[in-house]
Amino acid sequence: MNDKVALHDMTLTDLSQGLRDKHFSSSELTKHFLERIEQLDPQYNSFITVTSDQAIKQAQAADERLASGNAPLLCGIPVAHKDIFCTQGVKTSCASKMLDNFVPPYNAAVVDNFEKSGAVMLGKTNMDEFAMGSSNENSFYGPVKNPWATDSVPGGSSGGSAASVAARLAPAATATDTGGSIRQPAALCGVTGLKPTYGRVSRWGMIAYASSLDQGGPITRTAEDAALMLNVMAGFDQRDSTCIDLEVPDYTKSLNNSIEGLKIGIPKEYFGEGLDPAIGAAVEGAIKQYEKMGAVISEISLPHTQLSVPAYYVIAPAEASANLSRYDGVRYGYRCENPHDLQDLYMRSRGEGFGDEVKRRILVGAYALSAGYYDAYYNKAQQVRRLVKQDYNEAFKNVDIILGPTTPSPAFKFGEKSQDPTAMYLEDIYTISANLAGLPGISLPCGNTAGKPVGLQLISDVFTEERLLNAAHQFQQHTDHHLQAPADSANV
Ligand code: GLN
């Protein structure tokens, strides 16, 4: 380990080793990150809540556990959790006024897994309200700024998680991905984001947006770190009926496998109209790099790509309209002042508690599910979903991995797309179909354009995260895009 590397520039592997070799303690490490958050986060707004006191206590406990000699790998390492994961005794807002006063009495399964492994929670990261958005402009707590260009968005909905990792305010963070919310902000912030297979990570205690699409995963700086995080996050949980009872491999074990002969498919539909040429060029560079490393490249077709966005924007709002019906001002969350009857209580609590985008989704979803339109919209969208899945099934008969850009454009300026929902929804054109098909996908940095990072996306078949992490790690062993960092103005 190189002693000259600043604590905040170290990978999880290095931090874990450093703790074990007593180069620093978890308490020192945790204080270092808390100081950076205090100094730098006012410019980025990547945290909604910083849990300093709890973090320091957890770090002390981790130091004791480390001293005992048999602590898990992430013991003592600070991480940040997206504010969609319930945290016992700590406000969990989902970036909504509706949950601004919500303090859960329990931890999400993912949060529990980190606690058991001795990781330290730095706080809860900012996001789009109820995970609806691609720019983090829909947060009740204000937008998150992209650390590479503070006039631009960090992506969404996990913009706070991506920005905090990019700005080195947290070594790693948890996030969720319903249509791209791990991969798209990871791409726009120049970090690595893994959306696991649907059912790999428990959704218990993760506030529901669209239950058949939502999946938790890590945002880190490297694929190796993502493997370490997934080791902690993945696993069966009987409290989530869609969580799959399948053994969790050690995701770090296969990172160094050779990728000689790996069959990579390039979908021609991902390189057409709407793709920023600079993104296309950076991805072409990545393809050449994979060829150099021995992968076998071929062109493939995913013919229903164009239909994935409209299908998603029926299915996700439909599920959201049902999931968000629980926020009624009665049980928990925001309640309007002085309601004059029950109807008024419902209407004003929801009217005042939800932001515009959330209301738009609820209206669209309720409409698509209504008796008169169910067949025309919801059923049709489910049929398209099946076609999208079949495209992938066909493709995976011939290739191991599908490679393309993560997003059509780099980080855009605040306000640029927020008045045009369709333009904003197209941000997810390359990420949404993996959610519709339940597939794992990873975004990793592969270059930059005018100082803004470009993301490369790899998608593989269900439960083959090892293959994705292996391919991503090998790329990172031969390139340095993931080592680039935004300018740092901190003194710590
Ligand atoms: N941008 C997409 C949406 O707004 C995806 C969000 C997500 O993955 N949570 O729904």
User: 143 and 32 in one domain?
Assistant: yes
In a domain? residue 339? yes
Distance of CA 461 to the CA centre of its chain: 19
Confidence of residue 490 (pLDDT cuts 50, 70, 90): confident
Domain boundary among 331, 352, 385: 385
If asked whether residues 422 and 323 sit together in one domain, one would say: no
* Mutational pocket test of ligand 1: of 356, 428, 439, the residue with most ligand atoms within 8 Å of the beta carbon: 428
Convert the pLDDT of each residue in 277-332 to its tens digit: 999 999 999 999 999 999 999 999 999 999 999 999 999 999 999 999 999 999 99
Regarding whether 178 and 326 lie in a shared domain, the answer is no
Query: Do residue 377 and residue 235 come from a single domain?
Result: no
Tens of pLDDT, residue by residue over 224-251, are: 999 999 999 999 999 999 999 999 999 9
Residue 199 and residue 111 share a domain: yes
pLDDT at 491: 85
Structural domain boundaries enclosing 333: 305-385
CB 255 within 8 Å of CB 469: yes
Active site residue 161: no
Give the model confidence (pLDDT) of 348-377 as tens digits: 999 999 999 999 999 999 999 999 999 999
Decide whether any atom of ligand 1 lies within 6 Å of the 131 Cβ: yes
- pLDDT confidence of residue 70: 86
- Average pLDDT on 77-94 reads 98
Residues 458 and 360 in one domain: no
Q: What is the mean pLDDT of residues 422-446?
A: 95
Alpha helices in 81-237 (DSSP H): 109-116, 159-166, 183-189, 223-233
Higher per-residue pLDDT: 41 or 489: 41
Ligand 1 nearest atom to the CA of residue 425, by list position: 1
Torsion sign, CA atoms 108, 109, 112, 117: negative
pLDDT of residue 406 exceeding 80: yes
Are 380 and 428 members of one domain? no
pLDDT of residue 61: 98
Q: How far is the CA of 20 from the centre of ligand 1 (A)?
A: 39
If we measure between CA atoms, which residue out of 438, 182, 211, 198 comes closest to residue 326? 211
Q: How many domains, in total, are found in the chain?
A: 2
Over pLDDT 70: what percentage of the chain?
A: 99
312 and 258 in one domain? no
Distance, CA of 96 to CA of 352 (rounded, Å): 11
Task: Identify the active-site residue in 93, 181, 308, 460.
Answer: 181
CA distance 406 to 427: 9
Identify whether residues 200 and 339 lie together within a single domain.
no
pLDDT score of 3: 54
CA of 131 to the centre of ligand 1 (A): 6
pLDDT in tens, 149-161: 999 999 999 999 9
* CATH (domain of 476): 3.90.1300.10
| Confidence bin at 1 (pLDDT 50/70/90) | very low
Mean pLDDT of the chain: 97
pLDDT at 124 over 80: yes
Same domain, 375 and 424: no
Question: For a substitution probing ligand 1, which of 84, 127, 128, 134 has the most ligand atoms within 8 Å of its CB?
Answer: 134
Banded pLDDT at 422 (limits 50, 70, 90): confident
Mean pLDDT within 113-124: 98
From CA 114, how far away is CA 111, in angstroms rounded? 5
